[in-house]
Amino acid sequence: MSGRTLEVTVGGPAHGGSCVARYPEPDGRAVFVRHALPGERVRAVVTSDRGGAYCFADAVEVLEASPDRVEPPCPYAGPGRCGGCDWQHATPAAQRELKAAVIRDQFARIARQDVSTLLHGVEELPGGPLGWRTRNLYAVGRDGRVGLRKHASHEIVTVEHCPLGVPGVADPPEPPVPPRGVTGIEAARGTLPDVAVLAHRAGGNRQRRGRRPPDRVEVVTGPRRLHHHALGRDFRVAAGGFWQVHPAAVEAFAAALLAAVRPAAGERVLDLYAGAGALTAALAAAVGESGAVIGVESSRTAVADAAANLADLPQARVRHGRVTADALTDLAVGPDVVVLDPPRTGAGRDVMTALIGLGPRAIGYVACDPAALARDVAVAAEHGWRLASLRAFDAFPMTHHVECVAGLVPPGAVSAG
Ligand SMILES: C[S@@+](CC[C@H](N)C(=O)[O-])C[C@H]1O[C@@H](n2cnc3c(N)ncnc32)[C@H](O)[C@@H]1O
């Protein structure tokens, strides 16, 4: 049906920033409609149809609008335009409702769990829905044109300003001249106003699980390490390394994680996917000098940053290594608590099974993809573990992304701590 215009009434949100309609109505194929809101009657143009049970469409005309609809604050948002945001056309409160509905739906479908009594909505972070991105990757075309990509496309939309960015990150940096293999130009900043500009080049031909290999990234101007102030501490982190993008995220996630697992003085905590030590520092303060926090992190640069960031906390250490089932079994640490903050793919069955095998009294899980979290919680449930708490934060306003912080307890435990 690619290119066809359909008139449909749109239902609830799907994971990824669209709403689900049926064509023909009421029980035909699923149509994932972007730029629509639940309950709206729209004309939608099919953007991709590869046959099968579903296709994708963009709402190009709203015939009956939802009361939650607003004029997108960004001039580049809309059908066929910049694909960076998904929910510019919804009020911020409605965006959080949509994300909460997606989390509930993912747990129901994937983990067969009803989380509606645990999840009390998606919590707003301070700072408002615009001007929060401390890092933005702009695409660079072969001709040197800079912009942001259309949704699910390599096509570039020229933008002069991204309203999601903090000052210094909202305006696309100049790409090197000539661009010489540069596919992206990134602006990143920490708490201080200095901006690091990083050039991205394709990372070679090696494919892992059908994915593009990570870009080769180098700082072209500005500081090589960014300064971040969080949790009453100063962190220095490689400009291309991982740090939460929303300036209020580290404080919010660390507080939620501590509430989920309640680490006590003297306890041993295993902190998987530790990065440059943000959550490690919060956990180390909670267990005190009589306790221990052992982080595991695969990036050597992040491990070096963590060593410097945690130098005043002798109870905390981040080791270099990949989190795998074998590595966890070899650790020879009987942790009281395990926390994990994996990349979007989640921890996976083997790692979840191995860390449950370590026999902690609680697991705390920080997740940037509710589907991956639900998959890993389902594995824990097979071993009798129960989801005891679930909070969600709107750390990526205007987009479909949402961060969850979950607490899991072993069979028989009523709550963590
Ligand atoms: C979402 S970040 C979390 C970082 C840190 N907890 C924080 O709050 O800043 C995920 C981290 O996991 C690391 N990582 C990815 N895959 C890994 C693996 N298999 N083993 C260990 N670390 C991994 C990445 O380098 C990244 O630092």
- Atom 6 in ligand 1: residue holding the nearest Cα: 274
**Whether residue 116 is found in the same domain as residue 143:** no
Model pLDDT for residues 116-135, shown as the tens digit of each residue: 999 999 999 999 999 999 99
Residues 23 and 112 in one domain: no
Q: What is the mean pLDDT of the segment spanning 289-303? A: 97
pLDDT score at 210: 61
Position 416 confidence tier, pLDDT thresholds 50, 70, 90: confident
pLDDT in tens, 7-46: 999 999 999 999 999 999 999 999 999 999 999 999 999 9
Site to probe by mutation for ligand 1, drawn from 298, 352, 393 as the one with most ligand atoms within 8 Å of Cβ, is 298
Average pLDDT score over residue span 335-359: 97
User: Closest ligand 1 atom, CA of 253?
Assistant: 8
| 175 CA distance to ligand 1 middle (Å) | 29
350 belongs to an annotated ligand binding site: no
Q: For residue 207, is pLDDT > 70?
A: no
Tens digit of pLDDT for each residue in 54-102? Answer: 999 999 999 999 999 999 999 999 999 999 999 999 999 999 999 999 9
- Mean pLDDT, to the nearest integer, of 342-360? 97
Ligand 1 midpoint to CA 366 (Å): 11
| pLDDT score for 214 | 86
Looking at ligand 1, which atom is closest to the CA of residue 299? 25
Give the Cα separation of 377 and 59 in Å (integer).
35
Mean of the per-residue pLDDT values of the chain: 95
Tell me what pLDDT residue 176 has: 78
Task: Report the CATH number at residue 272.
Answer: 3.40.50.150
Q: Which pLDDT value is given to residue 213?
A: 84
d(CA 305, CA 190): 15
Would you give the distance in Å from CA 190 to the centre of its chain?
Answer: 18
- Give the range of the structural domain holding residue 198, as residue numbers without chain letter: 135-230
Query: Please, which pLDDT band fits residue 412 given cuts at 50, 70 and 90?
Result: confident
The pLDDT score that the predictor gives to residue 329 is 87
218 labelled ligand-binding: no
Looking at the predicted structure, is the pLDDT value of residue 417 above 90? no
- Which pLDDT value is given to residue 208? 58
Q: Is 341 annotated as a binding residue?
A: yes
Q: Which of 269, 297, 310, 369 to mutate to test the pocket of ligand 1 (most atoms within 8 A of CB)?
A: 297
Q: Is residue 80 part of a domain?
A: no
For residue 172, the CA-to-ligand 1 centroid distance in Å is 27
Cα 250 to ligand 1 centre (Å): 14
Arithmetic mean of pLDDT, 280-307: 98
Q: In this model, does residue 204 exceed pLDDT 90?
A: no
253 and 372 in a single domain? The answer is yes
Please indicate, yes or no, whether residues 281 and 306 belong to a single structural domain of this protein.
yes
Q: How far apart are the first and last CA of the chain?
A: 55
Which residues carry out catalysis?
A: 368
How far is it, in rounded angstroms, from Cα 411 to Cα 408?
10
Q: Does 82 map to a domain?
A: no
Q: What pLDDT, on a 0 to 100 scale, did the predictor assign at position 144?
A: 86
244 is in an annotated binding site: yes
Residue 178: pLDDT above 80?
no
Average pLDDT estimate for 172-184: 86
Minimum-distance ligand 1 atom for the alpha carbon of 280: 6
Do 285 and 211 share a domain, yes or no?
Answer: no
Is there a domain that residue 401 lies in? Answer: yes
**Are both 225 and 259 inside the same structural domain?**
no
- In the chain, the number of structural domains is 3
User: Is 86 part of a structural domain of the chain?
Assistant: no
206 and 179: one domain? yes
Q: Which of 277, 347, 279 is nearest to 319 (CA)?
A: 277
Sign of CA dihedral 366, 369, 371, 375: negative
> Does residue 394 share a domain with residue 258?
yes
Residue 296 alpha carbon to ligand 1 centre in Å: 8
Same domain, 382 and 327: yes
CB 362 within 8 A of CB 261: yes
> Which of residues 230, 256, 289 is at a domain's end?
230
Mean pLDDT within 165-171: 96
> Which of ligand 1's atoms lies nearest the C-alpha of 271?
6
Residue 206 has pLDDT above 70, yes or no: no
pLDDT of amino acid 277: 98
- Residues 217, 288, single domain; the answer is no
Ligand 1 pocket residues where CB is under 6 Å: 242-243, 273-275, 278-279, 296-299, 302, 322-323, 341, 343
